[in-house]
Every structure is written in C-alpha cells, then in structure tokens.
C-alpha cells in the first residue's frame, strides 16, 4: 500500500512539474476574441450553439496531442520542422498566412482588453498602453518558467464565468440536452458561426505556441505521457469554461432576444437581467482573457517568425539574444493598438470573420501535423497509428466541407 501511494505521489508531482504548455494553450483559446465569439454566437442561437462543444473539444484534444507529441519527440517547434522539410518558399507563404490570421486575433484581444477597461470605468487611453507595456517588460525580463506562472494566475480568473453562469439561472437540463441533441433549425448562418466557434477554440496559432512552449520548457520523452494527459485534461477544462460563457449569455440575452456586438456589451447587457454581480464576473473574465490573449497570440506569431526564418527565439533568452523574437512581438502589439485606440474601432467588425478564417486554415495545419506525425524517421515508435490518422483526416475533411458550405451560404443565401 505504501508503494502504491508513493507511486501516485510521484505521478502527481511529476504532472504538476510538467503541466503548462497544454493548459496555457487551451485557456488562451478562450481569449478576448474567443469570449466575443462565444458571446455573439450564444446571443444569436442560444442553447442551440452548445451542440458544437463536444465535437470541438475532441478536435482540440486530438490535434493538440499530436502537435505536443511531435514537439516532444523531435525537440523542435512546428515552424522549425516546416522550414527544415519544405524550404524557405513554403515558410514565407505559410508565415504570411499565419500572420494575417493571427493579427486578426491580436486585434480582437487588444480590443477586448480595451472593452474590459472601459467596462470598469478606466480610461483606455492611459490604462491600455500601460497594461501592454507591463506585459512586454515582464516578458523580456522574465523567463519561460515565471511567464508560465503569471499565466496560471490569470487563468484563475476564468472561474468568474462559472459564477456568471450560475447567477444567470439557466435551465441546466436544457443545457445538458442541447449539448447532445441538436436544437433548432440548421442554417447557413449557424454553420458559418459554428466554424467561427471552432476557429476560436481550435486555433492554428495554438499548434505553434504549444510546440514552442514544450521546446522552451525542455520537456523530454520521459514526460510524454504526462504531457499527453495534460493536453486532454486542458481541452476538457477549457471548453467547460466555454460552456459557462455561452450559458450565461444564452440564459439572459438570447432569452430576451437581445443581440450584441461583443463580450463587453454582453457583460453590460447581462447586468439588468441576472444582476450586477453576474455582469461584473463576466467583465472580470473578459479582462483576464484579454490579457492572456495579448500575451499568447503575439508570442505564437513571434515563435513562428523566429523558427521559420532561423532566428533565435525563446522566453529564456534576453532581449538582445532574441531581439527579432521580442521585436516581432511588440510590432504586433503596437500595430494592433494603432487600430484599437481609434474611438470608433469596433471588435464586432472582425470577430466572426477572423475566427472563421482561423477555422478555414485549420486543415492546412492538420496537413503538416499528418506528415510529421507519420514520418517514421522523425517519430519512430511515437508516430500516429491508423486510428489517429483516421481522426485527423476526418476532421480536416469535415472542417473543409463545413467551411466552404458555410462561406458560400453566408455570401449567397443570407
């Protein structure tokens, strides 16, 4: 019995040490842009949108596990491998695509942070630059380990969505039923919105950040099973909080027929329906999501930039050694801030479009995951099995078809 407890004590301690890349990546998918997308989707479709959560969680868990496994076995980031195996021309094309997709998300996150500050009566012209400056200075002065700890602290504030959902007093039996049995009518708009929800949850940038984080954390094959477990667990926990966000909005705004344009507007609209506390909790969650997104998404692009073009890029290195890495990070933040600081800038104009584009490009990322995960020279005994290949290919095909149908329907059958 003593050996049994000692064994489990060791496993738990090892998991705590290993945990980080999977949890941070999964929670960062619920960034300010994600909260905005979930809020808009739930306000439009109510509990009906909950049917997307279980399939999306499976896609997130499977794709992130494959990406994490590739990173641990090869010791390289996804962008490193793409440049090495496919050359600089492919690297340039892919980077342009990644930058366009990611920058739309960065705009969402900076705008979401601005909205959260306004929500709490803070002058965004002062506090938004100060918050982003703090974030940048922390990153260049810190290490990966300390940065990860900061992200863990921020993630605690996601609990506010749980309280917000409870205070909204939803029909929990309807919530459970809606996650399993389709509700309402299928439409092109619903399909388009579902792809946007997918795109903000299972992100292209998530594959780059989890691989580079694993490399920065220096995880080895001895820890692969713990990291795989973390990825699966993180996917479930993250999407449980997604459910709480959707439920809070569906139980209040959708039930009253109130449409919104973003997460900050959702927090304001929830207050008279579920009480000031529910709206405040939702707003605090948005603030945390915006902060986390403003760190993670630009970092993922900076990692991809450094790896695709052969520059040094690590949170464990100082500014001078990784100046292109940090420089590209701050470039994205400054560029996004120029747009967002405009008083008339609206997050609604880019929310669903940016996330739909993210979902649209996922099959391209899945293609590279498939190629690397099945390379016996790279992966050895850790390569994909037939079932994993079947799941990955099936996900890519379904997402591609749904994206095309949703886009065509959105354009021609409004």
The pLDDT tens digits along the chain (414 residues) read: 666 666 666 566 665 666 668 788 887 777 777 788 888 889 889 899 999 999 889 988 998 999 899 999 998 888 888 888 888 888 888 888 888 888 888 888 888 888 888 888 888 888 989 999 998 888 888 888 888 888 888 888 888 888 888 988 888 999 999 998 888 787 878 888 888 888 778 888 888 888 888 888 888 888 888 888 888 988 998 889 899 989 988 888 888 877 776 666 777 777 766 677 877 888 888 888 888 888 888 888 888 888 888 777 788 887 878 888 898 899 999 999 888 887 766 655 566 677 677 777 888 888 999 999 999 899 888 999 888 889 888 888 887 887 777 677 666 665
CA atoms of 362 and 207, how far apart (whole Å): 10
Burial of 199 (0-12, 13-18, 19+ CB in 10 A): buried
245 and 161 in contact (C-beta within 8 Å)?
A: yes
Exposure of 233 in the CB half-sphere (CA atoms within 13 A): 14
56 and 365 in contact (C-beta within 8 Å)?
A: no
204 and 358 in contact (C-beta within 8 Å)?
A: yes
Q: Which of 111, 116, 110, 171 is nearest to 330 (CA)?
A: 110
362 and 115 in contact (C-beta within 8 Å)?
A: no
Q: Where on the phi/psi map is residue 160: left (φ > 0), alpha (ψ -120 to 50), or beta?
A: alpha
Sign (positive/negative) of CA torsion 316, 22, 112, 127? negative
Q: The whole model's pTM is what?
A: 0.86
CA atoms of 140 and 324, how far apart (whole Å): 12
- Go through the domains of the chain in sequence order and give each one's CATH number: 2-412 (1.20.1740.10)
Record the tokens describing residue 157, joined without a space.
């504030």
Rounded alpha-carbon distances, angstroms, from residue 345 to 140, 181, 212, 268, 338: 29, 38, 32, 18, 10
Helices (H), ranges, 309-350: 323-340
Cα of first residue to Cα of last residue in the chain, in angstroms, is 65
């Amino acid at each position: 019995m003593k050996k049994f407890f000692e064994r489990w004590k060791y496993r738990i301690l090892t998991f705590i040490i290993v945990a980080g890349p999977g949890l941070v990546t999964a929670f960062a998918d619920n960034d300010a842009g994600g909260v905005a997308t979930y809020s808009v989707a739930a306000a439009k479709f109510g509990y009906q949108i909950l049917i997307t959560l279980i399939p999306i969680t499976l896609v997130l868990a499977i794709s992130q596990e494959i990406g994490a496994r590739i990173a641990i076995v090869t010791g390289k980031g996804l962008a490193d491998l793409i440049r090495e195996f496919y050359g600089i021309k492919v690297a340039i094309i892919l980077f342009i695509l990644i930058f366009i997709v990611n920058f739309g998300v960065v705009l969402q996150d900076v705008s979401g942070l601005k909205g959260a500050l306004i929500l709490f009566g803070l002058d965004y012209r002062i506090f938004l630059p100060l918050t982003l400056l703090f974030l940048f200075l922390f990153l260049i002065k810190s290490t990966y380990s300390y940065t990860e700890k900061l992200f863990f602290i921020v993630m605690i504030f996601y609990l506010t969505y749980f309280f917000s959902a409870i205070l909204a007093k939803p029909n929990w039996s309807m919530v459970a039923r809606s996650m399993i049995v389709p509700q309402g009518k299928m439409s092109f708009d619903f399909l388009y919105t579902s792809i946007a929800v997918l795109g903000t949850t299972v992100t292209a940038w998530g594959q780059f950040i989890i691989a580079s984080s694993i490399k920065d954390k220096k995880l080895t094959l001895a820890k692969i099973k713990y990291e795989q477990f973390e990825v699966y667990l993180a996917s479930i926990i993250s999407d449980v909080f997604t459910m709480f966000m959707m439920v809070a909005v569906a139980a209040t705004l959708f039930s009253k027929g109130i449409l919104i344009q973003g997460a900050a507007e959702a927090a304001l609209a929830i207050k008279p329906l579920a009480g000031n506390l529910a709206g405040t909790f939702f707003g605090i969650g948005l603030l945390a999501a915006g902060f986390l997104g403003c760190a993670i998404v630009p970092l993922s692009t900076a990692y991809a930039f450094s790896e695709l073009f052969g520059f040094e890029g690590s949170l464990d290195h100082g500014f001078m050694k990784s100046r292109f890495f940090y420089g590209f990070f701050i470039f994205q933040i400054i560029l996004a801030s120029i747009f967002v600081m405009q008083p008339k800038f609206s997050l609604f104009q880019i929310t669903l479009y940016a996330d739909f584009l993210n979902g649209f490009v996922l099959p391209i990322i899945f293609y590279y995951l498939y190629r690397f995960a099945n390379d016996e020279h790279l992966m050895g005994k850790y390569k994909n099995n037939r079932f994993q290949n079947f799941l990955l290919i099936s996900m890519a095909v379904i997402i591609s078809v749904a994206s095309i149908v949703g886009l065509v329907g959105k354009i021609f059958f409004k």
